[in-house]
Amino acid sequence: MSFRRPKIAIIGAGHTGATVALMVAQKQIGDIVLIDLPDFENAAKGKALDILQAGPIERFNVQVTATSKYQEIAHADIVVITAGIARKPGMTRQDLIHTNAAIIRTVSEQIKRYAPTSYIIVLSNPVDAMTYVCLETTGFPKNRVMGQSGVLDTARFNTFIAQALQLAVEDISSFVLGGHGDEMVPLVRYTYVGGIPLEKLMPQAQIEQLVERTRKGGGEIVALLGNGSAYYAPAAAIVQMIEAIVKDQRKVMPIITYLQGEYQVDNACIGVPVVLGGAGIESVIELHLNEEEQQAFNHSVHQVYQTLAYIK
């Protein structure tokens, strides 16, 4: 009996790509191929070999390889795009638009050519717009192209709440919607601590501080690092999405998807809660938003539309 492990291709072998590869290997989700530019091929191969040699210690048994040849992504079940320049201190996500849009178009064309049946997870910033560029370039069905933002933003929100209340982070449940930027919308009304509404456990002023810190969460890490941006938590968020697809978990999670009328949004990729499983994005869950939430969401969407207009 023949058996083929799932194949995960990761475009971009920088900090985030390599961390995704390590976490995928540790969870034994599938075999991994790292892709990077010819100038960085040896560095990517070094990382792949280093991860592979952790196998006997961490007790995982998967293949980890690296190359600059896109042909090697053939038959990939999932392709993760981390390629692109990272945000530097003082740089907005908008500053990344021109360079990263060109990179995403090139990468998407290669995926379309060599892995036409794959599911794509985009991480490159500004990720809402880059997901749209990938979807448009590949022409793949919308259920197979998605962006990572809400899983990470929600994790940040949950972390800050758990720290403030000095409670287990596993007890925190929340949603962060909208674009992946300073206009994102943490939904306080849908945030619970062990099933108890957050508003019952924390004063409004403190909640607002945590909401604002979540919105600036990526920038806070960029400023602390001084050179580069976050990669451990973004990688963990990507791996959670990979696992949901490969294992057909049908999990509810907020991710970037193409909307056609849902949440009063048309022809844009925005972060909303979806069911993610073996068929990719299986459905969009439309939450009822009150007037204040809808206005905040609309403002976030407007920023994404502006970015898309700039690209077009």
* Catalytic site positions: 180
Question: Residue 257's closest CA among 92, 146, 99, 173?
Answer: 146
Determine how β-strand 7-11 pairs with β-strand 31-35: parallel
180 neighbors 191 (Cβ within 8 angstroms): no
Cα–Cα separations (whole angstroms), residue 218 to 46, 161, 176, 214, 225: 28, 17, 14, 8, 11
| E strand or H helix that includes residue 301 | helix 291-311
301 neighbors 178 (Cβ within 8 angstroms): yes
How far apart are the two ends of the chain, measured CA to CA in Å?
50
| Main-chain dihedrals φ then ψ at residue 231, nearest 5 degrees | -145, -25
Question: Residue 180's closest CA among 239, 120, 257, 249?
Answer: 257
